[in-house]
Amino acid sequence: MGYTAADMLNLLTFNYEVPIREISRRTDTPYSWFIYAKQSGSIANNLNRRIAEMFGDDWNSLENLHLYQKRKNIVAKIDGNKIKEIRYKKGLRLIDISNKLKTSPDRLSKIEQGEMGLRSYPEYLRFTEYFGDDLLPESEEKPSKTHSKPKEYITFTNIAKRNSKLSWEFGKKVVY
């Protein structure tokens, strides 16, 4: 399966629950670069480098894109009725759990009714952690529960020019 620039960016935001505008802000990249990438179907080297600074050099590797897609497919299969059933069994009201799940009672109701799906993989993990149950239909393959927290690394970049003294630039890289 080939991935367009729009596919890659959509899968990235879905997997990490970070909107494009936030990635733009954190990487000090014009938002228009992301829009252009989606419309043109290709990601410029400058944009790729800046995204890599935030998510790691392999953010758009085929292996990671397959992982992101697999997670998106899993989340698309959640059973809203199962959420409702578990909530009723535990005697919980929508208003009681919506804040803990970082969503509104109205949206949670729509998810239960199947009118709306979950927005991201981290949101799916919050739901499964809170309900203590897997929310997929019984016939579906269950995902692994591993989810790592962001890691921060100190980076050094040689910024020396020809015939000049060695010079290093200090930076920080966050890998999700």
pLDDT tens profile 12-48: 999 999 999 999 999 999 999 999 999 999 999 999 9
**pLDDT score for 49:** 94
Q: For 66-123, how does the pLDDT look when each residue is reduced to its tens digit (9 = 90+)?
A: 999 999 998 898 888 888 988 898 898 999 888 889 899 999 999 999 999 999 999 9
166-to-5, 11, 37, 154, 169 alpha-carbon distances in Å: 37, 40, 35, 19, 10
Does position 140 have pLDDT exceeding 60, yes or no?
no
Other Cβ atoms closer than 10 A to 13: 19
Q: Cα(80)–Cα(85) distance, rounded to whole angstroms? A: 9
pTM: 0.72
Q: Where are the alpha helices (DSSP H) in 77-142?
A: 80-89, 94-98, 105-112, 121-131
Do residues 87 and 100 lie in contact, with contact meaning Cβ atoms separated by under 8 Å? no
What is the radius of gyration, based on Cα positions, of the chain? 20
Buried b vs exposed e over 61-99: b needs ≥16 C-beta within 10 Å?
Answer: eeebbeebbebbebbeebbbebbbebbeeeeeebeebbe
* Secondary structure (3-state) at 170: strand
